[in-house]
Structure 1
Amino acid sequence: MIQTLTHSALDIRWFTESTWFHSSDATVVRAGVLLLEAAFRSTQPATIPCDPLILSRLSGLSANVWAENGATLLQGFEQVEGGAWRHTKMAELFDAVNERFGAQIKELVASSALASLAVEEFPLVGEVKPAGRSKGKRALPKDYQFNEGLVAKAEEAGFITDEHKAWLLQKFKDFATSSGRLYSNWDATARNFFTSSITQRDFLSNFGYWPRDSKTRLMPALGAPSAPVRSGPQSFESAALNGSKSSVDRVLAKRFGAQNDVQDADVKPAAGTSAAFTQGGFGFGFARNRGAAPGAAA
């Protein structure tokens, strides 16, 4: 059973059908609104006291002004046992709500009281669904690991070492737990994750090469095919791996001068010219005709 009307709505007709609502005096209109609000919020629903002094204060009027307009402002109210004034239409609404929903409201109030004392034993509203489930979808299990089939797919995608796989699993778990993601098939999601361009770029940033190049770099003894040579400038490393002396010469010449100034690392300098050579980076030697070093033979 409800005790107040604060969860219901004020009916606009309670205002517009009252004589005071059409008064040319704004203070009278305001007083009528305040009286309805007082009845609406009263602990005795739809009821206001009978004391004229209290009524004048509730309406925001002086005692003299209340005496002049009180009869008009109490239109729609009726005096009940004990002398209080009760708004008839508002009271009808209150009685109808209690008659139709009073039992349910009383039960809900009682359940709320019990729930406040034993939250675990008395759920307030219905059964709480397990967290992370919605229409067959679920959160990633905390103990999730790649099964044998997923490990094979990961290796096909270029994640071949234990370090690669550990990194991949952690990245996948981070992806799964971010923003509370829910999926019905996490294994299928993992397969898509392996070949995602975002995953590939993250791998490149972490390991320094693309997953597709892992076998060429790390498993040459198994006869893995070499990575295709791409157009554009070559690096020292790619030129050396491809065994191309001409490529090495071109790279060195571009970095340090004309091709005739460049010598390969395994070519020993001529006698008496060792001071003119300096050891270059990446295992390559190069020399320039910059004049004899101090103390060199003429």
Structure 2
Amino acid sequence: MLIVLDTSAVTRNARFEAFVRRAVGQGARVLVPRLVLLELIHRCEQESAAMIEALTIRSRMYDRLGLRDDLTRFVEAARSKAEGYAEAVAGELDALGIGIVEPVDSSHVDIVGRALRCARPYLDKRRHDGYSDTLNWLTVLNLADRNPTDEVVWVSANSRAFGSGEPSAWHDEIWAELRDRGLESRVRWAVDFADVDLADLNSTEAEFSRHDELDVPLSGTSVVPAAPIADPVDTSEEQSTPVDKKVASVLPPSPPVQVERPRVAPQRILPADSASAGKRRGLRRIIGGRKRTVTVVEELDDLDLGQ
């Protein structure tokens, strides 16, 4: 079995590494196209550049804390590491047993013709022309042609370019191309690497499920001990107990309590007096159900206590 990984399938976690080691250990060949490797390197460079930019924007804050020199050394180390991302990523893939596949030697005229026809995996989108997806797809087909006895599994989450709307179901154009080349029974598509069935490789392990978490204690991770098993309980005395003593008396449920809702007399708020009513500024409001008049004066001499 040949398992070809797209950019979306290559991740940095224990679950991905466990799957690759299991597949390689069972005799499968895990491959990554050269364009996928370039996309992985570009993604790492973008993340590093964004991190460095975020640090340099806050350089004044580091000056106030007296960490300017530390920030400079950290940024220089990050830039130096970013320059070696190509060798680092290739080394990590090689350590897992993943091989790099060179792109197929296809004619530019054929690729341009597919682009003009918007043949899958090309999409009619301005931001995504599908050139790299098309070249990777032609590389997968070339691998299937060169290995007629092996099953080829293309692992990609790009369902818009390869899928028909159903999980792991080819688009009609992709399916027609596979039938024309006689590869419909040997080339399969998996959205996630957990969907790859390794049972045909004489596996002695349990089936790998997408939703199962790896139970592998990492270095420095504390392992919770198993709970002690309780001693068996002797039920001989319990069985000899009469039934009427074991059943507790059940009181009838009390009826629900009806709570009367408080009744509030309806109140009507009268509109405020206008300036032509003869008062300086009248504000009326209802307090305790009675109407009261509030007059606002600027000085105490204007207050009439005879009212």
TM-score by length of 2: 0.17
The answer to which structure has the higher strand fraction is 2
Higher RCO (CA < 8 A, seq sep 6+):
2
Q: TM-score, normalised by structure 1?
A: 0.17
From the two aligned structures, give the one with the greater helix fraction.
1
Structure with the greater alpha carbon radius of gyration: 1
